[in-house]
Amino acid sequence: MKIIITAAAMVAAATPIAAQPPVAPRLDFVLEETVSLGERVVAGKTPLGERFIIPITGGTFEGPGLKGMVMPGGWDWQLLRADGCLQVKADYFLKTDDGAIINVVNTGLICPGADGKPAPVRTHPVLEAPVGKYEWMGRTPFVGTLEPLFEGGKVNAVRIRFYKAS
């Protein structure tokens, strides 16, 4: 009897009551990071393209209700594809002023625009935070923006902004 009731509940849950139009997500600012970068390491050509490692050497972040540092020791694993796009996947840690450690894995795609200049970069950050005050970050979808910061004609840092999608 229990199996029949469970199956009936699953069918009822999967049946739409009324078709509703999709609701566009809203984006709310969460934080801005300035991430310092080390010298690019050429990892070499692979069947997928040319690989690079960009060391993450530190930085800072701040947003409403949170502030802290980007811990040194992270990295950005990049793939330059045959179509000229650069896939990025950064893995690093934030340390809040109150001592919480938050892991960030941020992926994105940097492609040249129609005019040959870089198009705006959007990323998909996924955060893992400890249980407690920042736990909500691990259950929240984010969208990011990424802008290079130049010094002496080369990129020495990036500015990344995270927005909560709701």
Q: Which residues pair with 48 in a beta bridge?
A: none
Q: What gap in Å lies between CA 27 and CA 166, rounded to an integer?
A: 6
Task: Looking at the structure, give the CATH architecture of the domain made up of residues 24-165.
Answer: Beta Barrel (2.40)
The reported pLDDT for the residue numbered 112 is: 86
Could you say which DSSP state residue 141 is in? -
User: What are the residue boundaries of the structural domains of the chain, listed by start?
Assistant: 24-165
How far is Cα 47 from Cα 7, in angstroms, rounded to an integer? 47
pTM: 0.85
3-state secondary structure of 32: strand
pLDDT in tens, the chain (166 residues): 555 555 545 555 555 566 888 999 999 999 999 999 999 999 999 999 999 999 999 999 999 999 999 999 999 999 999 999 999 999 999 999 999 999 999 999 999 888 877 788 999 999 999 999 999 999 999 999 999 999 999 999 999 999 999 9
Q: Which residues pair with 101 in a beta bridge?
A: 95
